[in-house]
Amino acid sequence: MKAFFILSILGMSGAAIAKDCGTLGATYPIEEADPIQIIQHKLKVMEKSGELERHNHELQKKTRAAVERPKPVPGITRTTEATVFYYDPTYVVKEDLKDHLGRIIYKKGTRINPFETVSLSQNLLFFDGDGEDQKAWAIRKLQEKSSKLILVKGAPLALSEEIKVPVYFDQGGILTQKLGIHHVPAKVSQEGLRLRIEEVYLQSEEKKVKGRELP
């Protein structure tokens, strides 16, 4: 009897769940908006209103400005005292370096100095392209020895067009940070297995140039 009673209750419960209560309101199919269609619609609206063209024009202007005059390297100031220091490019191998056949070329812990096999073919001149005296210094040094011009501030493309030689820019201050340069103008040259870095004080440099010109 107990089993029959329990089954009866379950049967009643099932009947109650399956009961059709009718339609209580309007129903609609569940649909998710296609994001591609939303974007395409928005672009069409922007194009029709002219907003898309204005946006593209503004983006082109910003891109051109960033190329023609990159953001100045932060933390770099003008040299007020001549300083000479050195950078050792030696690094320690952190794990065994192997060739394509699996043979060990350099064991972990080996100290490697690239200047043992290659050399710096050109001096590196870092300077502020907006400073006329620094620009004149760089051009003068360029005439003395083959050098690579690297700006920390200024317009590299315009300067390259003006002096007819390639001019580079230290984007994000990667090189100056690596070499520890805080003041410009600065000259980097190879001395043995190290780099010699000179932060040049232009006032004393100009005196030397004038002294050579005297009879």
Q: How far is CA 52 from the centre of its chain?
A: 28
> What is the reported pLDDT for 62?
62
Contact call for residues 147 and 140 (beta carbons, < 8 A) = no
For the chain, the structural domain boundaries read 77-89+117-213
Give the tens place of pLDDT for each residue, 60-107: 656 665 667 899 999 999 999 999 999 999 989 898 888 888 898 888
- Beta strand 183-184 with 167-169 is unpaired
Confidence of residue 13 (pLDDT cuts 50, 70, 90): very low
CATH entry 3.40.50 includes domain 77-89+117-213 = no
* Residue 10 pLDDT: 44
What's the Cα-to-Cα distance from 195 to each of 83, 114, 115, 118, rounded to whole Å? 14, 11, 10, 13
Q: How far is CA 115 from the centre of its chain?
A: 26
